[in-house]
């Protein structure tokens, strides 16, 4: 998938015909696969005229032929423009339902994995560091509350006096901790005369969690 394989002088149909012949599949398998990846309309067009996204879809169609129970896709959105990424993402997400197949994606683009996967495994230098649901992985993140208050310095001092650990970054206050009650925090600040314009819980994205798990961040 990372660099899709295809014979560009042949049409999409002919490319799949090669796979079909080798695997001894019935002829309707080609149309079925083309239909799933939404390439039916272009099946008689030479692959050299395809966009990269269409070539990726053809690659997926090749992988789909033969009613596979497990599909392993390596970097399926690599090199695609935003529209292509969205298209391939939606296609991959629809495969388990349409094909009743498990899809295993290997990728370095963690934001994409966050959008696509429900189960995740993190491998670092050959070692499986985590395996579980996306929700479980999220709990591994460093929880913190982000506050934008005015005046910033005095608000920070006020919160420190209240016993919170506070750091100031990029004009915001960061309060690490999983059990901070945001309602209480907000009330304390407002009733003490500070203007609060932003208050949110930062669970940390997959990238942060990955770096944390692999020990690549201080």
Tell me if 19 contacts another protein by CB under 8 A: yes
Tell me if 187 contacts another protein by CB under 8 A: no
Identify which range of 21-29, 81-89, 113-121, 190-198 contacts another protein by CB under 8 A: 21-29
Nearer to another protein, 6 or 194 (CB): 6
Tell me if 4 contacts another protein by CB under 8 A: yes
- Give, for 67, the enclosing helix (H) or strand (E): none
Tell me if 17 contacts another protein by CB under 8 A: yes
Tell me if 213 contacts another protein by CB under 8 A: no
36 with 64: CB under 8 angstroms? yes
Least CB distance to another protein at residue 8 (A)? 6
Rounded to a whole number of angstroms, the CA Rg of the chain reads: 24
Tell me if 90 contacts another protein by CB under 8 A: no
Identify which range of 3-11, 133-141, 153-161, 197-205 contacts another protein by CB under 8 A: 3-11
**Which residue carries 């019935």 as its tokens?**
26
Number of residues that bind another protein (CB under 8 A): 17
Distance CA 69, CA 33 (A): 14
Tell me if 5 contacts another protein by CB under 8 A: yes
**Which residue carries 């020990």 as its tokens?**
215
Tokens describing residue 31: 């149309």
Distance CA 169, CA 218 (A): 16
Least CB distance to another protein at residue 10 (A)? 6
Tell me if 44 contacts another protein by CB under 8 A: no
Distance CA 165, CA 143 (A): 13
| CA distances (Å), origin 184, targets 17, 110, 159, 179, 189 | 65, 34, 12, 11, 9
Tell me if 51 contacts another protein by CB under 8 A: no
Q: Of these, 56, 62, 77, 78, which contacts another protein (CB under 8 A)?
A: 62
Distance CA 16, CA 47 (A): 11
Residues that bind another protein (CB under 8 A): 3-10, 14, 17-19, 21-24, 62
């Amino acid at each position: 998938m990372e660099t899709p394989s295809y014979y560009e002088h042949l049409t999409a149909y002919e490319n799949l015909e090669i796979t079909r012949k080798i695997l001894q599949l019935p002829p309707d398998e080609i149309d079925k696969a083309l239909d799933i990846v939404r390439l039916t309309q272009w099946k008689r067009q030479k692959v050299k005229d395809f966009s990269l996204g269409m070539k990726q879809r053809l690659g997926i169609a090749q992988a789909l032929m033969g009613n596979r129970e497990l599909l392993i896709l390596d970097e399926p959105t690599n090199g695609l423009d935003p529209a292509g990424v969205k298209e391939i993402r939606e296609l991959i997400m629809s495969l388990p339902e349409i094909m009743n197949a498990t899809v295993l994606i290997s990728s370095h683009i963690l934001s994409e994995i966050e959008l696509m996967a429900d189960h995740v495994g993190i491998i670092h230098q050959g070692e499986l560091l985590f395996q579980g649901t996306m929700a479980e992985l999220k709990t591994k993140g460093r929880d913190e509350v982000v506050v934008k208050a005015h005046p910033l310095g005095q608000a920070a001092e006020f919160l420190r006096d209240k016993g919170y650990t506070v750091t100031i970054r990029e004009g915001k206050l960061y309060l690490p901790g999983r059990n901070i009650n945001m309602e209480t925090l907000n009330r304390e600040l407002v009733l003490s005369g500070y203007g609060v314009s932003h208050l949110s819980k930062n669970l940390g994205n997959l990238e942060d969690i990955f770096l944390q798990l692999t020990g690549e961040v201080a």
